[in-house]
Amino acid sequence: MRLFIAINFEEAIRNSMAGTLEALQRHGVTGSFPDKENIHLTLVFIGEGGPAEQEKIEGAMKQVQVPPFKMTIKGFGRFPRSGGDICWLGIEPCEPLQLLYKQLRDRLKLAGFSLESQEYKPHLTLGRKVILPKDFDLFVFSRGIQPLSVEVREFSLMQSLHIQGELRYRPLYTQTLSVQ
């Protein structure tokens, strides 16, 4: 199983993000865009694992002590790549989100997982292999996106799988945020 830990969103938030995707496509932007149901905020990518790893991950998730918090989705940007960019929605700096990320990483490492060591840059991937038209104004487009305030109450262990040729993300376990 291909595993990662993520924050999933309510339908109203996903609908708003899907509206941003539609606006991109109206500007003639091409690329690979996720289904609305797949939009999430990745906290930690784990990789391949089976039932034993799933049990360890769930144990690590249960040890996290972060209260529910609000975060703001704001801004639009891209990570330049050859063959097409990765376009994303940004997350305003959020101390509780960083604390959640740090606690997860620390507990997963203690459970024996080897994780990527790069800096955490929270973002919501809107598209991969994206080609922006030459006249596309990233700054103007970004200013037109309304910030979204999101109440984060839980996070989930997710499985990435292909069903009839379609990429789908399925929650395997969800942990409610709280301070014990």
Q: pLDDT tens, 3-47? A: 999 999 999 999 998 889 888 888 888 888 888 888 999 999 998
**Do β-strands 166-176 and 69-79 pair in parallel, antiparallel, or remain unpaired?**
unpaired
Q: pLDDT tens, 37-79? A: 889 999 999 989 989 999 999 999 999 999 999 999 998 998 9
Mean pLDDT, all residues of the chain: 91
Question: From edge to edge, which strands make up the β-sheet containing 69-79?
Answer: 30-32, 123-131, 85-91, 69-79, 148-152
Which pLDDT score, from 0 to 100, does residue 10 have? 92
Domains and CATH numbers, the chain: 2-71+95-119+151-176 (3.90.1140.10)
